[in-house]
Amino acid sequence: MPHVDILFNQLQKRKTEPAQVKTAIDIFEKCIFDVRIKIDDIIYEAKSICTEPQGNKRRRRNNSSHDHRDAALEVCDNIVNSANHRFQFKDHLVAASLFFPEHFGEYCGKFPDNKLETTCLAYPELEKSRLKTELSVIYARNNCRDLHGTLSLLKFLIQNSLEETLKETKKLLEIIVTTPMSTRG
């Protein structure tokens, strides 16, 4: 599916942030579903634009609107299925969103338990309770809010000899920074 391949290639860019990937995939799927919903209008408009030239000597099979509709719906379904297959691990992108410094203040007030749960399901080797404690400490620290991106936070932990103290956080950060965004899992 060329549409899915184009999306996949765009999401492989090095500077692509996890939230952008998840958002792009969700928007892509929504757009295809919107086309699917409007398929009757699209077919009607296409038929009004594309008319058979007069004097066409070859007789074509008279394709009904129903045939066109079924084929168009099948194409939409195939695109969505291909995208779902290619990006089946998109929920793993939630893990990286735990480290967006612009949300640390919000997370300090209300811990993102749902994101932590999704992350720990995606990466069962993580110790959930310890990771929650470590993340709570990071969210409360003002100097961590100045860091931008997962790699910056990982470097900060290493430079400040916090690898053992924040062991689970370091483990998760290493997973995130070494896995391409669109193939998480």
Which residues are within 8 A (CB) of 104 and not within 5 positions of it... i.e. 6 or more apart? 138, 139, 144, 145
- For each of the chain's 185 residues, which pLDDT tens digit applies? 677 777 777 776 655 666 677 778 888 889 999 999 999 888 888 888 876 655 554 555 555 667 888 999 999 999 888 887 777 666 667 888 899 888 999 999 999 999 999 899 989 999 999 999 999 999 999 989 888 888 999 999 999 999 999 999 999 999 988 876 554 44
Q: Domain ranges for the chain, please list them.
A: 2-54+63-88, 92-183
